[in-house]
Amino acid sequence: MLKGFLNLLLPRVCLLCSGIVEGEGLCEKCLDSIRLIKSPRCRCCGMPFISQEAEDHLCGTCIKKRRPFSIARSIGIYEGVLLEAVQRLKYNGKTSLARPLAKLMTKEFSMNNYNLIVPVPLHKTRLKERGFNQSLLLARELSKLYNLPIDYLNLRKIRATDPQVNLKGKERIENMKGAFAVKNGAGFKNKKILLIDDVYTTGATVTECSKVLKKAGAKTIDVLTLARVVNM
């Protein structure tokens, strides 16, 4: 009751711009400014196509090399409000952003009877530095919203990698090789897994994670990230 009373007295503010919010989290203005990724896009990796005429089809990269995941989808382009939100969540420890961002993910992604949600793990040294794993925060909210089990213990990052930011496509793939391992794979056997990360850049991270999950016996892996780096 006290909480309800306080809510009446204190106007809720947007976690990003401090504008007034109707519900909680992000204001309409911030949400409206996010460039959502829609069709036409790559049927597999979800890369948006520039031409608005085309239908969904495979992009050049996905034709050349089969991906270990079935589909990858991202909610919006990694710029503006979305970039700021991810950076505040990750580097400024604004963990209260996880819930509204996960809500945005559920609004823009149709679930496909998954058995299990798995977040991309952080290496323990990074985890110590940051104190939390932003992908786990998002995955945990999604597991609540979708009422799905989550496993954040059995996919491990066993090797610290150089920050991907400074690397180009091929180097990113090399950098991630052998960086992940499955601890106990029994829970992954024959499961339809939804793999969660905050940002998709070249897909090197989620590709490597999907490979080890497949090896552990996962039936299918779909990837969902909040944002995607797009050069357009």
**Residue 176 binding Zn ion, by CB under 5 A:** no
Q: How far is the CB of 42 from Zn ion (least distance, A)?
A: 3
Q: How far is the CB of 64 from Zn ion (least distance, A)?
A: 10
> Are 181 and 212 a contacting pair, CB within 8 Å?
yes
The single-letter code of the amino acid at 50 is: I
Interaction mask 3-22, Zn ion, x per CB under 5 A = -----------x-xx-x---
> Are 204 and 175 a contacting pair, CB within 8 Å?
yes
Tell me whether residue 70 or residue 164 sits nearer to Zn ion (CB atom).
70
Q: How far is the CB of 78 from Zn ion (least distance, A)?
A: 17
Interaction mask 52-81, Zn ion, x per CB under 5 A = -------x--x-------------------
Tokens encoding 82 = 């979305």
**Residue 82 binding Zn ion, by CB under 5 A:** no
Q: How far is the CB of 142 from Zn ion (least distance, A)?
A: 22
Which of residues 25, 37, 41, 42 is near Zn ion by CB under 5 A?
42
Candidates 36-44, 136-144, 170-178, 192-200; binding stretch for Zn ion (CB under 5 A): 36-44
Candidates 45-53, 124-132, 161-169, 214-222; binding stretch for Zn ion (CB under 5 A): 45-53
Q: Spell 7-25 as b/e; 16+ CB within 10 A means b.
A: eeeeeeebbbeeeebeeeb
Q: Which residues are CB-contacts of 115 (< 8 A; sequence separation ≥ 6)?
A: 148, 149, 191, 192, 193
Candidates 46-54, 120-128, 181-189, 212-220; binding stretch for Zn ion (CB under 5 A): 46-54
Phi/psi region, residue 14 (left: phi>0; alpha: psi -120 to 50; beta: rest), is: beta
- Rounded to whole angstroms, the Cα distance separating 89 from 214 reads 30
Q: How far is the CB of 25 from Zn ion (least distance, A)?
A: 9
Q: How far is the CB of 1 from Zn ion (least distance, A)?
A: 29
> Are 142 and 135 a contacting pair, CB within 8 Å?
no
Q: How far is the CB of 159 from Zn ion (least distance, A)?
A: 27
DSSP string, 149-195: -B--SSEEE-S----GGG--HHHHHHHHTT-EEES-GGGGTT-EEEE
Residues paired with 41 in a beta bridge? 48
**Residue 85 binding Zn ion, by CB under 5 A:** no
**Residue 44 binding Zn ion, by CB under 5 A:** yes
Give contact residues for Zn ion (rule: CB under 5 A).
Answer: 14, 16-17, 19, 27, 30, 42, 44-45, 47, 59, 62
